[in-house]
Structure 1
Amino acid sequence: MRRIVGALLLVAGLTGSSATAIAAPAAPVELIAGQDWTRLAGAEVTGQGVRISALDRWIVGTDGKRFQPNPPVNLLGPRLEVAGDFRLDAGISATGGKSAYLQLYGAPPIIYDEWRQEPPSLRLGLVGGQLEVAVWDGKANKAKEVRKFGFGVTGEVAITVRRSGSTLAFLVGGRQVGTVAERGVFGGGQVFFGADAQVGGGWTLRSLSASGAVRVRKAPDWKQGTVADSLRGRAQKLARPIGVGSALAIAPLVADDRYRAVAGEQFDLITPENEMKPQFLQPARGVFAFAEADALVDFARANGIKVHAHTLVWFEALPTWMRSAPDKRSVMLEHIRAVATHFAGRVAEWDVVNEPINQDNPDGLEHNLWYQAMGADYIAEAFRAARAADPNAVLYLNEYGAEQDGGRWNALYALVKKLRQARVPIDGVGLQSHEYDAADRVPAEVFRKKVRALAALGLKVRVSEMDVSTSDQAVQAKQFGERIAVCRQEPNCTGFTSWGFTDRYGSTADANRYPPVPGNALPWTTGLQPKRAHTALLNGLTP
């Protein structure tokens, strides 16, 4: 329910914020001039406005097929706080017959590995000479409603969106062409902006302004406060400090104040959960989208946090063009050079090769697309290319399921021993430590043996992606506490990272459904309250 006080409207429901009074502006609020559009992937700020180029970026499933479009959102640019009725005016220059899209999000999309959770949003498209309006209601991947209005809508176009109660009206050149139901797009009281273009095309956002009960809210301050007894604080006080960290995602880091505060307070080491995987960074050959990954690095640097970058070479999370390219060796080496050079000096470590092991094959290796093109030598070539691109980064091979005795460990040990003997520049091994059920739980002394065996080869070790799926907090706390204690005690163990820190955004959620059902695998609850596992981590960092 809205309460009107003079010319003020009260907005509720902003993530991490209390109700905020918004004065209806006397003049339209400018959303391009003086605002930051440099952080929108695929965008270039010019003298004519914001030039939008096609990224053709998709979420690719584990089967290698395109699953969902993943168009960019200007997470660190202007966003609106809105209440009640308002109006948005956009000037668009779209020539050449290609489609142009401007999207208004009620919240940022959340990426859960192979799934993008679509929030309520409104997309305005110039498609085939008409204004195409698509509305997502936050209950499915696909738009709930798609309508087309007008005709001859091309070239220089002035588009107005007018919210009146629960109805959205659309004007082209000042003339109303249609209406749709709002479907809760703006019910959360905020608007993020995104933009995309049809492949082979591009367009320019010449102007953008808002009027009515609106206010511009700029990007959050990355610098966070400190707490008296944090994980990072205890880790840094050890006689041999170790990194203690978490995988982070950019969308909640921007939109969720509490998530951002905990990340800054508790960790001195982060891993980008998805933003540095190839499908996000290089959606088309030679076309790079660094905006989201750069933002994570900026957050880390603002808070004195090291970045463990993830990942240069993997057989999943690849754009489809990379899978089908005939010159796989050139593709791999070009990607490593471009990406590692871009981040050189700003990240401390790299997962160079991710999950190369398959113990069921005679040579112990996954016969993935890189292996099929280059044989086992792809691993050594990747490390050499990464070292050449960033000589100062610590280079890791990252693997799952090798913490236990058995075939995966034997294959991993044989591989890294061979790489060391061949003087391949591998510095360490990441042991992921995913514990999805009881069979995955590894006793502390078994894990310690693996750390010491790798130390004998001159290799560093890091716990790289730990999560423990269980409703029993005592079991979860025991596993986290024992693992970090071993890392603290063994001289070659350099860091401990959980794969996320809160179940609210954890990758063990039952995704691809609305709303996603959160997992129960991480040290903070969905309400961002610490669990017993957090206490166990603190205790594990105490000598």
Structure 2
Amino acid sequence: MSLRMRVRRSVVTAVACALLAGASMSCTGGSAPAEGRATDLLDGRDWAHFAGAKPTPSGVRITRLDRRITRQDGSGGQPNPPVNLRGPHLVFRGDIRIEARLRHTDGTDAYLHLYGETPVVYDEWRRERRGVRIGVAGGRLRFDRWDGDSDRPALTRTFGKGFGDEVRLAVEVRGDRLVLEADGNVVGTVPGRNVFGHGRIWFGADAGGGGEGWTLGGLRAMPLGRGRMSVRDAPGLKVPRSTDALRDLAADLQRPIRLGTALAAGPLLTDGAYRRTAGEEFSMLTPENDFKAQFVQPRRGVFAFEEGDTLVDFADANGMQVHAHTLVWFEALPSWMRAEMTHEDRRRVMTEHIRAVAGHFRGKVAEWDVVNEPMSDEDEDYTNGNRGVRPHLWFDAMGEQYMDIAFRTAREADPQAVLYLNEYGVEEDGPRWDALYALLIRLKKRGVPIDGVGFQNHEYAADDRTDPEAFRRKVRALAALGLKARVSEMDVLVGEGEEDAQARQFAGKLTVCREEPNCTSFSTWGFTDGYGSTADIRNYPPSPGNALPWDAEYEAKPTYWALRDALGRSVDGAGL
């Protein structure tokens, strides 16, 4: 920066500070700190794996995704903007400056996100941690800051008006203050509240309003004064391995089975212990959320495959198979998919979604949950002619045949994949299992290309505990129909002092799976309580559950050792 430019910037800053002081806002005065060398964060960096983004010669094009997470009943709509997990992030000490150029010409609201801590997406719920968002909405500069104690911003401010189609933004981190600039002018200073206290910044971008998107024409960062900064790319996906993990014990069985778990892309790229444990211990992964409709097709015809691609790439790098979850479900749907439409349109939406998603991952995944949770929770649906099948938008449009259509469409889209129906609460005897078994007979008679059934084995209360021998009878009943079986999503929530009971449940189901020839895999619904779906989200931040084999600090619990024992015993109880 030339001396003339430094003087000009100092004068602008001083004038702006005087104006802001009259508005009871803090601002820095005096000359700007000396700047270090700027580092370009676009050129040569990975933005191709960022959902909704497309690198172009003029910058990174950001498509409006409108990605949101709804509640189980379809209400709400928690914003779920993407994070560039596989792109650059900053590690710094002291003061730094980040500059961005935003171009938007069709009424799009353009936002840049700076995450001090990346968000955590649990099972269909997003925990916002510390970070800020700055952008242009309706011609004004908007700033939001999240402090990690709520889904909503702790601070929201707007500045100026009449910003044009191209805006040059800057954020300076000066101690615990954030100085905001637009087009070379300081427009505000806000308290940072230690939002970047860990000395890291990850980047995200989002679009709102009525337009289709905007272009990030430039992004660079530099240290200020005595500050220090480095730019880090995402870690490699391949994990160094030993040969004594759960997956190795399962592979060494006389009839090998796959040991699997549900994974999320966020911690996979930001938490080294999570990444190492996942790649070391498991030979199959299930995407916890990243293949579900509201994540992968948030707007009709607009797809966000990037997080799912990351999970597939991780599996490929570590010799794992992917059990893809899920193509057709009544939950986790984007709002447009829930909208009123004719039965024919509903059928078209379902089949188009299957063809697009299964087609994108064709040949990259081993298995699909084609239909998820088709059985009803309501007693009346077992006596009113529904034959136990849950009434929902797909059933209303196509009847029970929605499943026939879904499986046939999936088979056409990905001919080599093994196709599953996935259900909970059918491990024990009762009308729910009876109705599912009758449904499977009907599907087989109609020639539906179903290959197997996943038993979720979610056990959240004492009444959910099931005898492994009851489960064995279900697995054998499927074998008589020529169907495979798998434990698909097991977790066991227990009270204090009940870890041994948890261990027995896990080990008992795994023992059945290794002993029954048609049981192909055993998967847990996550593996560490730190990211488990049983976290208590009534608190913020949520307190972890205790339903998984590792605790939140990655200490193996008795359940882990019980799983190892279950893989180390032969059918008759003798050592292998």
Whether TM exceeds 0.5 here: the answer is: yes
Equivalences for residues 512-523 of structure 1 within 5 A: 513-523=539-549
Letter in 2 for 1:46: T
Distance 1:25 1:153, change over 3 A: closer
Q: How big is the shift at 1:68?
A: 0.6
Tell me if the contact between 1:115 and 1:512 (Cα under 8 Å) persists in the aligned partners: no
For 2:552, which of 507, 511, 526 is the aligned residue?
Answer: 526
From 480, 495, 502, the counterpart of 2:506: 480
RMSD: 1.2
The answer for the alignment partner of 1:190 in structure 2 is 200
Corresponding letter in the other structure for 2:446: A
The equivalent residue for 1:466 is 490
Q: For each residue in 1:81-126, what CA deviation from the matched residue of structure 2 results, as whole angstroms up to 9, or x when unmatched?
A: 1222110111111223321111101122111223210011110110
Structure-2 separation of matches of 1:185 and 1:95: 31
**Partners of 2:243 and 2:364 in 1: how far apart?**
28
Counterpart residue number, 2:399: 375
Which ranges in structure 2 are unaligned for 5 or more consecutive residues? Answer: 1-33, 571-576
For residues 19-38 of structure 1, what are the alpha-carbon distances to aligned partners after superposition, in whole Å with 9 as ceiling and x for unaligned?
xxxxx994111100010001
Which of 141-150 and 299-308 deviates more?
Answer: 141-150
Residue aligning to 2:288: 273
Give runs of ≥4 in structure 1 deviating > 3 Å: none
- The corresponding residue for 1:70 is 80
**Structure 1 counterpart of 2:348, one-letter code:** S
Map of 1:502 onto structure 2:
528
How far is the alpha carbon of 1:188 from its aligned partner? 1.6
Q: State the partner residue of 2:349.
A: 331
Greater Rg by CA: 2
AA aligned to 1:341 is: G
CA distance in 2 between counterparts of 1:521 and 1:31 reads 40
Distance 2:538 2:45 in 1: 34
Equivalents in 2 of 1:443, 1:172: separation in Å?
A: 64
The partner residue of 2:452 within 404, 428, 451 is 428
CA distance in structure 1 between the aligned counterparts of 2:198 and 2:263, rounded to whole angstroms? 23
Distance, in Å, in 2 between the alignment partners of 1:238 and 1:228 is 14
Q: Deviations over 1:429-487 (max 9, x none)?
A: 00000111111111111111110011000000000000011131110111111110110
In the alignment, what sits opposite 2:368? 350
**Distance in structure 1 (CA, Å) of the matches to 2:35 and 2:254:** 57
**Aligned to 1:439, what secondary structure does the other structure show?**
helix
Q: Structure 1: how far apart are the matches of 2:280 and 2:123? A: 25
Q: 1:154 to 1:201 in 2, by over 3 A?
A: farther
Query: Matches of 2:501 and 2:123 in 1, distance apart?
Result: 26
**Contact conserved, 1:126 with 1:154, CA < 8 A, in 2?**
no
Question: Is 1:178 equivalent to 2:206 in the alignment?
Answer: no
Deviation at 1:325, TM superposition (A): 4.7
1:479 alignment partner AA: Q
8 Å Cα contact 2:529-2:545 kept in structure 1: yes
Deviations 1:41-100 (A, max 9, x none): 111110000011100110111121233111111111111112221101111112233211
* 1:356-391 superposed Cα distances (whole Å, 9 cap, x missing partner): 012621311001110001101001110000000000
Aligned to 2:168: 158
Distance 1:314 1:119 in 2: 29
Question: Using the alignment, how far apart are the partners of 2:434 and 2:35 within structure 1?
Answer: 67
1:262-284 CA-partner distances (Å, limit 9, x unpaired): 00000001100000000001001
How far apart, CA to CA, are the structure 2 residues paired with 1:267 and 1:284? 33
Structure 1 residue 513: Cα displacement: 3.0
Contact 1:312 1:350 in 2 (8 A): yes
Q: Percent identity?
A: 55
User: Shift of residue 415 of structure 1?
Assistant: 0.6
Q: Distance in 2 between matches of 1:269 and 1:48?
A: 40
Counterpart in 1 of 2:12? none
Aligned to 2:211, what secondary structure does the other structure show?
coil
Q: Aligned-pair distance for 1:203?
A: 1.1
Structure 1 letter corresponding to 2:352? E
Contact kept, 8 Å, 2:106 with 2:211, in 1: the verdict is no
In the alignment, which residue of structure 1 is the partner of 2:301?
286
- Confirm or deny: 8 A CA contact 1:509 1:517 kept in the other structure: yes
Deviations 1:229-249 (Å, cap 9, x if unpaired)? Answer: 200000111111001010001
Aligned equivalent of 1:59: 69
Counterpart among 17, 32, 43 of residue 33 in structure 1: 43
Shift of residue 150 of structure 1? 2.2
1:219 corresponds, among 234, 238, 242, to: 234
1:350 partner amino acid: W
TM normalised by structure 2 equals 0.89
Give the match for residue 110 of structure 2.
100
The amino acid that maps onto 1:200 is: G
Alpha-carbon distance between aligned partners in 1 of 2:108 and 2:562, rounded to the nearest angstrom: 56
